[in-house]
Structure 1
Amino acid sequence: MIGFIRHGVTAWNKEGRAQGSSDIPLDVDGIVTAKQLACRLANEKWDVIFTSPMVRAKQTATILAKKLRLEVKEDDRLRERSGGLIEGTTEAERLEKWGPTWREQDLKFETGESVKARGLDFVMECVQCNADQKILVVSHGSFLKRIIAALLEDQTYEVKIDNTSLTVIDVEKKNCLLLNDTSHIIGGSNGNRI
């Protein structure tokens, strides 16, 4: 069983800036919601936390680990998809610089296939090495939406993943138990209980 968590919110998230491989820290709200998620998870049994090495994910994982009294393990395969030339830009800035077809241009993004390959490699190794354990994985929105859909072999699960949301998957049964749940945040959503 894996609980997939998107890192807490950052200033760039709020500004609508593409983060990708840019190493942006949590803002105050990101820290608060990570603490709210930690309180929620403290009522559950989790065995290990893996995180992307990027600061926003590591900060989120560290907050969770402190409350859950678990060690944080970093894995580079959990990093966000590289956004190439668009990193640091807003949608308006992309439209101004590259026009309405910017998504179709070669702006040096990491391919979706590359993201899925490294993500699935991590998950398979993680499940094998941590048999019968409940695993938390802290990563990034673009990365997580691709991995969740790939694990479930169903593109309808490739949805926007909210900051500090929890998605729980039984990897062996390819069963999504909870999708994009933010009920621990005031005004958050119960996500989709599957």
Structure 2
Amino acid sequence: MTRIALIRHGSTAWNKEGKMQGSTDVALDNEGLEQARKLGLRLSDEPWDIIYTSQLSRAKKTGEIIATELGITDIREDRRIMEVSGGQTEGTTEADRIAKWGTGWRQLELGMETEQAVLTRGMAFLDDMMQEHAGKHIIIVSHGSFIRHLLKKLAPSLVQDSNLKNTSVTRFTVDDDVWECELYNCTAHLV
């Protein structure tokens, strides 16, 4: 059985400002650094073998902090797990987008990555990872929108009624290609 933890990166200044980050490389803020440390401490009493991160610094730094707390030296970057590209919307707030493009801005062609493109790269990553690390315990540090897209595919009956929180853990066991979600959007380490 393979165990996989999908983790959203720690907080950034743009998270707090409500700005769309997408593929823009925004660093963790001080709170995000502390969130990652607390998550690493939380995970330290569980066996983990490897950490994958997006190449964007907010996910990469979160993964590095977790790796330090866990004593893991096998940490790898993969571009396929980076955040969904927001095209022209990156760096804008909801109010900015409405002012510039109107309330129907989501239906406009603004260079945003499609759900199908996200799923294509995300599922290819998971397939490759599962072939290489079957039976291992794997941490994947990525981004909110990217993880939400994957969850629609991996756990279609899962009710995603709120945004994923920074450093939240969503954990799966995988046995015979059956993905079982055993924990969703958990931030118990932050309380």
**TM-score if structure 1 supplies the norm length?**
0.92
Q: Which residue number corresponds to residue 23 of structure 2?
A: 21
Maintained 8 Å contact 1:146/1:158: no
Q: Which residue number corresponds to residue 189 of structure 1?
A: none
Measured at CA, do residues 151 and 129 of structure 1 come closer, stay the same or move farther in structure 2, by a change above 3 Å? same
Of residues 98, 104, 115, the one that matches 2:107 is 104
Identity percentage over the alignment?
44
Q: Which residue number corresponds to residue 165 of structure 2?
A: 162
d(CA) in 2 for partners of 1:77 and 1:179?
A: 22
Deviations 1:24-63, CA, capped at 9 Å, x for gaps: 0000000001000000000111110000000000000000
Q: Which residue number corresponds to residue 191 of structure 1?
A: none
Maintained 8 Å contact 1:25/1:56: yes
The AA in structure 1 aligned to 2:115 is G
1:182 aligns with 2:187: yes
| Cα drift, residue 149 of structure 1 | 1.9
Q: Which moved more, 1:29-38 or 1:155-164?
A: 155-164
Aligned length: 186
| Cα drift, residue 157 of structure 1 | 4.5
d(CA) in 2 for partners of 1:153 and 1:94?
A: 30
What is the RMSD computed on CA atoms of the aligned residues? 1.2
The AA in structure 2 aligned to 1:6 is R
Measured at CA, do residues 118 and 158 of structure 1 come closer, stay the same or move farther in structure 2, by a change above 3 Å? farther
| Cα drift, residue 90 of structure 1 | 0.4
Q: Which residue number corresponds to residue 190 of structure 1?
A: none
What SS does the aligned partner of 1:97 have? helix
Of residues 130, 134, 139, the one that matches 2:137 is 134
What SS does the aligned partner of 1:156 have? coil
d(CA) in 2 for partners of 1:85 and 1:169?
A: 34
Measured at CA, do residues 139 and 9 of structure 1 come closer, stay the same or move farther in structure 2, by a change above 3 Å? same
Q: Which moved more, 1:51-60 or 1:145-154?
A: 145-154
| Cα drift, residue 11 of structure 1 | 0.1
Deviations 1:129-187, CA, capped at 9 Å, x for gaps: 1011000000000000111221124363485211100000123322100000000002x
Q: Which runs of 5+ in 1 are unaligned?
A: 187-194
Maintained 8 Å contact 1:53/1:76: yes
The AA in structure 1 aligned to 2:105 is W
The AA in structure 2 aligned to 1:72 is I
Q: Which residue number corresponds to residue 8 of structure 1?
A: 10
TM superposition outliers: structure 1 runs of 4+ over 3 Å: 153-159
What SS does the aligned partner of 1:162 have? coil
| Cα drift, residue 117 of structure 1 | 1.0
